[in-house]
Amino acid sequence: MECLCLFWALEKLNYFLEGCVFEVITDCTAVKSLLNMKTPNRHMLRWQIAIQEYRGNMTIVHKDGNIHKNADGLSRWPLPNDIDNPAYVPEEASPQIPIEGISVTDLNTTFFED
């Protein structure tokens, strides 16, 4: 989730970050070690390739979560589940099941009159 947040922020802020030296402060050690992994698994390799263009200008700094009081502002901001979201998950159409009830006023009371 943290890598997705970094990728989303770099993609959205590309206009402002291109050509600038900047620092990413995170409380996730996996993000810090992302650029320096010698043999990444396929998921980490995907994130490495996605942020490759920022490699020379970006420094990732780890800051402990207890010290980092304003952490996860972007990763906890909910994104809509639409096709533009990189984490898009198609929702299955749930069947509509009508619920029918019987009102007391609809009961035939002649059965009980005997």
Domain boundaries, the chain: 1-91
Distance (Å, whole) CA 97 – CA 112: 33
- pLDDT tens for each residue of 2-53: 777 888 888 888 888 888 898 888 877 777 777 778 887 888 888 888 888 8
pTM for this entry: 0.51
Strand partners of residue 25? 61
pLDDT number for residue 2: 75
Strand runs (DSSP E) across the chain, as ranges? 22-26, 58-62
- pLDDT tens for each residue of 48-75: 888 888 878 888 887 776 676 665 555 5
- pLDDT tens for each residue of 95-114: 566 666 666 666 666 666 65
Q: Is 16 helix (H, G, I), strand (E, B) or coil?
A: helix
Taken in order 69, 71, 74, 75, the sign of the CA dihedral is negative
Distance (Å, whole) CA 50 – CA 68: 26
Residues belonging to the chain? 114
Topology given in CATH for the domain delimited by 1-91: Nucleotidyltransferase; domain 5 (3.30.420)
